[in-house]
Amino acid sequence: MAAAKTLPLRLPPLPSIKDVIRLYKLRALKELSQNFLMEPRLIDKIVRAAGNIEGNVVCEVGPGPGGITRSIIHQAPRKLILIEKDRRFLPSLELLADACKDKVDVDIITGDILKTDIAHFIPGDCKRDWHDAPPPVNLIGNLPFSVSTILIIRWLEMISKQEGPWAFGRTRMTLTFQKEVAERMVAPIMDKQRCRLSVMCQNWCNVNYKFDISGSAFLPKPEVDVGVVTLTPTKQPIIKLPFKLIEKIVRQIFNMRQKYSIRGAQTLFPAEVRNEMAIKMYKMADIDPMTRPFQIANTEFARICHAYSEIIKKYPEFEHYDYRAPKIKQPPSLPKSEAESSVN
């Protein structure tokens, strides 16, 4: 016999999101990359993309006036953590928290997601072993374009270390990105969008591009469309090395995306040994130096990273070499007469 389908959680009558925006005189701030999603059908579609969240702990990033928040509450999570930087939205979020106070535990955190320890608000009994099924914890958010790439790279590093929300297991994410960014996250080899973000996301997560949302569904209308992406951390990354090492190698190689990949790889080493060490690394990895960055699969990046790791074990002085660091200028040499007088 099939299990009975849970009915959506009912809330008392509330003003619509459009009415809330009008009531509290809210407007999206361009400097914070804010865009309000107004269409309830699309909002529900984002939340459904997260799967069954009934009884789960859900953290919503940047809830704004609370459109997605309402849809999450209707799915009856156990607890909802709202992280909102803009205090103008507190009255509308408090209205929702009050409306569901006997049904869903709501924490409203005023702060920057880049500086907030989400794990502090997740109950300890949510913890699962990394190799088990994902824990009953979800991250959901309509992310501001200005922080989305920075945030996902930071979260990938936390996933690699099993920290923050990922101290509880393979916590799943359902997030919106500028469409071009979403396409980069899932881009396979040979794709014109393949870049550093593609390799990093696919190394630690199963990335699923769910659907597009037209920019016209937002207020104000952004100049680009939006992609909805789900990410589930994998049990084992493809490249099993420290995050910083992988990120450094992938970044340098993709810095010269249209050139032969060895050109970017050379910048991992000081100028005086650059050609020699890059060729050595590619031979160790069995990679053709003429391969372009977007033609390299993650398994091949793994061989490059392991080869680099072996090289810096033998030559530890290369590990902290930074191609972008300002060059130290030598002081100009003194004329011979001045040099002699300074010695005397």
The pairing of strands 137-142 and 57-61 is: parallel
pLDDT in tens, 90-109: 999 999 999 999 899 999 99
The full set of domain ranges for the chain reads: 17-233, 243-318
pLDDT at 26: 65
pLDDT in tens, 213-257: 998 887 767 778 999 999 999 999 999 999 999 999 999 999 998
Mean pLDDT of 120-143: 97
Radius of gyration of the chain (CA): 25
Q: Does the predicted model carry a pTM greater than 0.85? A: yes
Same fold, 17-233 and 243-318: no
Please tell me which residue, 138 or 220, carries the higher pLDDT value.
Answer: 138
Contact 81, 113 (CB under 8 A): no
Contact 11, 70 (CB under 8 A): yes
- Flag whether pLDDT at 24 surpasses 50: yes
Which CATH number does the domain 17-233 belong to among 3.30.70.141, 3.30.450.40, 3.40.50.970, 3.40.50.150? 3.40.50.150
CATH homologous superfamily for the domain 243-318: rRNA adenine dimethylase, C-terminal domain (1.10.8.100)
pLDDT in tens, 264-314: 999 999 999 999 999 999 999 999 999 999 999 999 999 999 999 999 999
Contact 302, 309 (CB under 8 A): no
**CA dihedral sign, ordered 54, 57, 59, 63:** positive
- Flag whether pLDDT at 135 surpasses 70: yes
- Flag whether pLDDT at 27 surpasses 70: no
- Which residues, in sequence order, are bridge partners of residue 36? 219
> Among 153, 140, 135, 163, which Cα is nearest to 73's?
140
pLDDT at 224: 86
- Flag whether pLDDT at 61 surpasses 90: yes
Task: Report in angstroms the alpha-carbon separations of 53 from 47, 107, 230.
Answer: 9, 17, 14
For residue 151, the Cα-to-chain-centroid distance in whole angstroms is 4
Average pLDDT, the chain: 89
Contact 143, 61 (CB under 8 A): yes
